[in-house]
Amino acid sequence: MEGRDISCPYPHDKITSMQSSLEKLRKFFRLEHENGYSNSAIIGGLAKMLDFWEGEARADGINEEVIQAVVQRLRSYDGLSPQSRADALKGLWKRIGDVYPEAAQKPRSVPGASEGTPRPRPATSEAASTRPNPTLARRPAPQPRSESMPGAKHSQTPAALNAPLTVLQGVGPKHAQTLEGLGLKTLGDMLYYFPRRYEDYSQLKPIKSLWYGEQVTVIGTIQSVHTRPIRGGAATIIEAILSDGTGSLRLSWFNQPWMANRLKEGEQISVSGKVDQYLGRLVMNQPDWEAVDIEHLHTNRIVPIYPLTAKITQKWLRGLMNQVVTYWAPAVVDSLPESVRSSARLMNLGEALLQVHFPDTQDSLKSARERLAFDEIFYLQMGVLRQKRDWKSVEGRRFSVSDEWLGARLNGLPFTLTSAQQRAITDIRADLDSGKPMNRLLQGDVGSGKTVVAALAASIIATNGAQAAIMAPTSILAEQHYRNFKSLLASENGIMSEAEVRLLTGDTPEAEKDAIRAGLADGSVKVVIGTHAVIEGPVQFKDLQLAVIDEQHRFGVEQRAELRSKGTNPHLLVMTATPIPRSLALTVYGDLDLSVMDEMPAGRQPVNTYVLRPQERERAYTLIRGQIKEGRQAFIVYPLIEESEKMEDLRAAVDDYEVLSKEIFPDLKLGLLHGRMKPDEKDETMLKLRDRQYDILVSTTVVEVGVDVPNATVMLIEGADRFGLAQLHQLRGRVGRSSAKSYCLLIPSNDNATENERLQAMAETNNGFILAERDLQQRGPGEFLGTRQSGYASGLRMASLTDVQLIEKARLQAQKLFEEDADLKKPEHSLLAESLQRFWGESGKGDVS
């Protein structure tokens, strides 16, 4: 479009005296100018704004001739060339300026900015905050940013990004309330509400070109829909024939009868899924689908699909997002220093925000996602590095023991430590004698012997006259630790009396609680093992110097901080039985020193793991009967999937318990354990199992981490395909805790899931670290993070912790910047300091560990 006049006739600044309808018209015309008159200021074309603008203009009392002129111009706009579109809009705005002089006002001049130059398209814009869900302070109107102003701050972030969504056309209080359910309160929130997937209409594939095994999206028209009963009418299959003129594709949905009413003959839909084959015909089973608007078919672009809630349609939300993103993405400021952006070869944030919502190409989408993911890992790393520095900056009391003392303790154990246990003890011993507080993660597979290591750490503290506290997530696990600690520390050859090692839980009688509290306060109790009861207000220590937290992801930040506060800079040892891949450990637990115990004690046999088809369930029951006949015990575990399905799954477990106890194993003693039971009921059930009052425990996943039942040799997991590898491995770890041969039987929810990758991996190896790496690749980090309540937990929206290359890049850049300016005091890092504080919360000092 050479020779086209690029001057913008639509002022930058809002003209306060202009009617709102003309103000909106100006905004869209300006956006269209910035987009090169590509008819993209509104999804579906500029004429779409007439749906709401015409009525609003009349309500504002706009001259009818002006309204008609706007309507006529915009209705014919799509058929014009870019040059003609530019001329048409400029001529129209000039006519509006003749009638309404305020519309013709020139923008105020800005030093260093040319009035005749349009604001750059988002590709060259800057962005305001890299926090995934920004909380933006109200600020003055934005000024064009100059690269010579690296220290500029508040003036560059538009106050409008903190405005409520009711400022948008078509969003009233009811819609705003609905959107709030999606976490959308402000315009800034919308910029960071990312699509969950995309439909690439720019590279659609005709049905005739589909291949078996492809994962594709196709668009076509529904030719027919019918319902077919199966299993004697106990279930149904909904089948539809989709045609696009080149061929037809059979779609099927199992046991979803409502689909018959939602799919209409003649309707155009988009379906996504894996192409399969049945009797020589192409089919797609259980595909994702949605109705397609004609306007999207003709845009030839990658269309975002957003997470929705009730009362909101995809089309409506997409249009709203388009308004906000295309207008405001260029207005935010990039707080990531230019040195980091260029070194890491990152897309500018403004362009990344635009491209992640409305990508021009798959390559631009990839670059946008990389930029946004980099930000999340970078901010996480900066905070983690700061926490580690802060922790190491304080003094910690030194605790040392001689080699002879340690040798005597180890020789007194009824078993020989593994090399991994010995390495962990060496690490902890060095930490305790370093003069800095220990802050260590002890990561060990199920049964690797972490308790012994923790007990020896506690004994080093107690030998030097101080106190140790061990906190477990459940009272039954706390009792288990208590028995082990008492055996290791207060036996005949121990270094403490039984009175110096005590158990404190919610079930401890009040008189005994008072005695334990008094002993902790006067120092006569050296080691206390318990649940959250050990951090309650009445509990005061004379000299707490070691805090041990078991299954640390089960505790929130506040609880860990409360335990730390019971002493003065106490040493901290956190333990987890979930093997964590190295890339994840370095990223999420980077503030902790890491000890890995990847070796099993002698005598522990691998658990024989088998994947059975649902119709082979009787084989599993036969094995269970045989094991119980030999005096062993068994678990039968049912899945708990999502919040909305909890009651359904609970009923399944209870119903199956009835069937199992009355029909399958009527001669055996069965117990039932599920999440709706009270804590004391759960503990009572587990104690009965441990004491062999039950032969079989029927349970949901609450049994995943818990009591040691060495006599249990069979773990049967129903619906095993619904679990992640980490969880399956944890469940398997409930058996095989003695020298007896043990079994884990995995039964998926249907025949097709028997070849599930996770289940096959379980059958192949007992190594938790190998499984953890696979789970990270298949399911992401959620399995490992558990319920950790930390500042970043809700922030990782774009980053995939399976992308080791990106993690290493972000870690490298964060470490480099941290070494250069740890406190971000340099002027060019002031924006970064603001954003980092927003990411980690107002205190700026979240607690990762």
In terms of C-beta density within 10 A (0-12 exposed, 13-18 middle, 19 or more buried), how is residue 667 classed? Answer: exposed
pLDDT score of 584:
67
Closest CA to 594 of 576, 569, 620: 576
Dist CA 394 CA 389 (whole Å): 9
Dist CA 555 CA 645 (whole Å): 25
The two structure tokens encoding residue 60: 């504002």
Closest CA to 470 of 252, 459, 679, 508: 459
Q: Which long-range contacts does 314-321 make (Cβ < 8 Å, 24+ apart)?
A: 314/290, 316/170, 318/43, 319/42, 319/43, 319/44, 319/48, 320/168, 320/170, 320/171, 320/190, 321/190, 321/193, 321/357
pLDDT score of 828:
85
Dist CA 520 CA 530 (whole Å): 13
**Residue 251, strand partner residues:** 240, 284
Dist CA 158 CA 168 (whole Å): 16
Start-to-end CA span in the chain (Å): 57
Dist CA 99 CA 95 (whole Å): 7
Neighbours of 281 (CB within 10 A): 10
Q: Please name the amino acid found at residue 419.
A: S
**What backbone torsions phi and psi does residue 75 show, to the nearest 5 degrees?**
-70, -25
Dist CA 59 CA 668 (whole Å): 78
**Could you write out the three-class secondary structure of 371-383?**
HHHHHHHHHHHHH
pLDDT score of 109:
31
The alpha-helical segments, DSSP class H, found in 362-448 are 362-392, 403-411, 419-432
**Residue 254, strand partner residues:** 237
Location of structure tokens 């249990």: 712
pLDDT score of 19:
76
Q: Please name the amino acid found at residue 661.
A: S
SS3 284: strand
The two structure tokens encoding residue 481: 């630790």
pLDDT score of 301:
73
pLDDT score of 402:
92
- Angle of helix 475-489 relative to helix 450-463, nearest 10 degrees, comes to 60
Dist CA 443 CA 424 (whole Å): 10
pLDDT score of 251:
93
Residues in the chain with pLDDT values less than 50:
1-6, 14-16, 106-155, 298, 641-651, 783-794, 842-849
SS3 199: strand
pLDDT score of 736:
85
Neighbours of 4 (CB within 10 A): 11
**Could you write out the three-class secondary structure of 528-579?**
EEECHHHHCCCCCCCCEEEEEEECHHHCCHHHHHHHHCCCCCCEEEEEECCC
pTM greater than the 0.95 cutoff: no
Q: Are 111 and 820 in contact (CB under 8 A)?
A: no
SS3 619: helix
The two structure tokens encoding residue 193: 């509400």
Instruction: Please tell me what DSSP assigns to residue 121.
Output: P
Dist CA 443 CA 704 (whole Å): 17
Tell me how many helices (H) and strands (E) the chain has: 28, 21
- Angle of helix 757-764 relative to helix 725-732, nearest 10 degrees, comes to 40
Dist CA 607 CA 406 (whole Å): 33
Q: Are 714 and 632 in contact (CB under 8 A)?
A: yes
Closest CA to 711 of 688, 731, 682, 740: 740
Closest CA to 131 of 69, 51, 209, 189: 189
Q: Please name the amino acid found at residue 398.
A: R
The two structure tokens encoding residue 593: 């020193």
Neighbours of 687 (CB within 10 A): 13
SS3 228: strand
